[in-house]
Amino acid sequence: MVLRRPRRAGLDMSHQDHLAPVFAQYPIDVQHAEGVWLHTRNGRRILDLYGGHAVASLGYGHPGWTRALTQQAQSCNFQSNAVPMDVRVRAAERLVRFAGMDMDTVFFVNSGAEANENALKMAFTMTKRPHVAAIEGSFHGRTPGAGALTWGAAQKWFGYPRAPFDVSFIPRKDSSAIAAHVTENTAAVIVEPVQGVGGAFDMGAEFLLALQRRCKDVGALLIFDEVQCGMGRTGYPFAANMYGISPDMITTAKALGNGFPCAALLMSPKVAAAVKLDALGTTFGGGPMACAVIEAVIEAIESEHLLERVQRVSAYIRKTCVVGPITGHQGAGFLTGLITTRPAKAIQAELLEQNILTGTSGYSNVLRLLPPFVLEEQHVDLLRDALAAMRA
Ligand SMILES: Cc1ncc(COP(=O)(O)O)c(C=O)c1O
Low-confidence ranges of the chain (pLDDT < 70): 1-15
CB 31 within 8 A of CB 5: no
| Predicted pLDDT at 69 | 98
Residue 137: partners with Cβ closer than 8 Å, 6 or more residues away: 151, 172, 195, 197, 198, 199, 201, 362, 363
Secondary-structure percent of the chain, ordered helix, strand, coil, rounded to 5: 35, 20, 45
Provide the H-helix boundaries in the chain.
51-54, 63-75, 86-99, 112-127, 144-148, 153-156, 178-181, 205-218, 239-243, 269-272, 288-303, 306-320, 344-353, 377-388
CB 192 near ligand 1, within 6 Å:
yes
Distance 163 CA to ligand 1 centre (A): 18
Q: Give the Cβ contact number of residue 279 at 10 Å.
A: 12
Distance 60 CA to ligand 1 centre (A): 21
* 8-state DSSP, 7: P
**pLDDT tens digit sequence for 22-70:** 999 999 999 999 999 999 999 999 999 999 999 999 999 999 999 999 9
Q: Give the Cβ contact number of residue 306 at 10 Å.
A: 22
Distance 109 CA to ligand 1 centre (A): 13
Residues in a beta bridge with 322? none
| Predicted pLDDT at 15 | 55
Separation CA 100–CA 240 (nearest Å): 10
Which residue has the least CA distance to atom 4 on ligand 1? 140
| Predicted pLDDT at 16 | 72
Separation CA 131–CA 291 (nearest Å): 33
- Enumerate helices (H) and strands (E) in the chain, giving the number of each: 14, 18
CB 188 within 8 A of CB 222: yes
| Predicted pLDDT at 12 | 53
Distance 324 CA to ligand 1 centre (A): 31
CB 268 near ligand 1, within 6 Å:
no
Judged by DSSP in three states, 141 sits in coil
CB 112 near ligand 1, within 6 Å:
yes
| Predicted pLDDT at 3 | 31
Among 110, 140, 226, 258, residue to substitute to test ligand 1 (most atoms within 8 Å of Cβ): 140
Nearest atom, ligand 1, residue 229 CA: 1
Residue length of the chain: 392
Separation CA 51–CA 154 (nearest Å): 28
| Predicted pLDDT at 2 | 29
Separation CA 36–CA 46 (nearest Å): 8
Which residue has the least CA distance to atom 13 on ligand 1? 141
Distance 323 CA to ligand 1 centre (A): 31
Q: Give the Cβ contact number of residue 70 at 10 Å.
A: 12
| Predicted pLDDT at 361 | 96
Separation CA 90–CA 294 (nearest Å): 10
Residue 280: partners with Cβ closer than 8 Å, 6 or more residues away: 107, 118, 121, 122
| Predicted pLDDT at 225 | 99
